Amino acid sequence: MSERDFRPLIATGIASILGTVAILSYYGYLHMARPADALLLAEYTMLKTIPGEDYKASLKPAEQIAQCMDGIVVLFDTQQKGLTGVLVDDKKRAVRCEFSPQ
């Protein structure tokens, strides 16, 4: 009766997993989230409009542009190219939007 040595088989399996993770990460298919990825970019406040009453807002536009994508408000930053985010409320719930053709 011969005894088998499973150490090379285990080492090959571990090396294969590590190699796969490294290749997926290199090509961008695997992203490790960092705390900096979820930083608050800006705070927003909703101005309630009441018919017949005026409200004041700055004439200077914000540095973000909003767009409705898949029913969620997505913000694109104009200062830092490639920086995008989802608009959420204070409970981290995504703000929904509805596309209505005019």
pTM listed for this prediction: 0.50
Helix (H, G, I), strand (E, B), or coil: what is residue 34?
coil
pLDDT in tens, 54-88: 878 888 888 888 889 889 998 888 887 777 888 88
Place of tokens 């719930």: 93
User: pLDDT at position 79, please?
Assistant: 81
Half-sphere exposure of 46 (CA within 13 A, CB side): 8
Strand-pair partners of 68: 73
User: pLDDT at position 89, please?
Assistant: 82
- Is 10's pLDDT higher than 60? yes
pLDDT in tens, 12-61: 999 999 999 999 989 988 877 776 666 666 677 777 888 888 878 888 88
Handedness of CA 48, 77, 79, 38 (dihedral sign): positive
Q: Which residues of 46-85 are buried (b: 16+ CB within 10 A; e: fewer)?
A: eeeeeeeeeeeeeeeeeebeeeeeeeebbbebeeeeeeeb
- Domain borders along the chain are 1-32, 37-102
User: pLDDT at position 1, please?
Assistant: 54
State how far the Cα of 28 lies from the Cα of 37, in Å rounded to an integer: 16
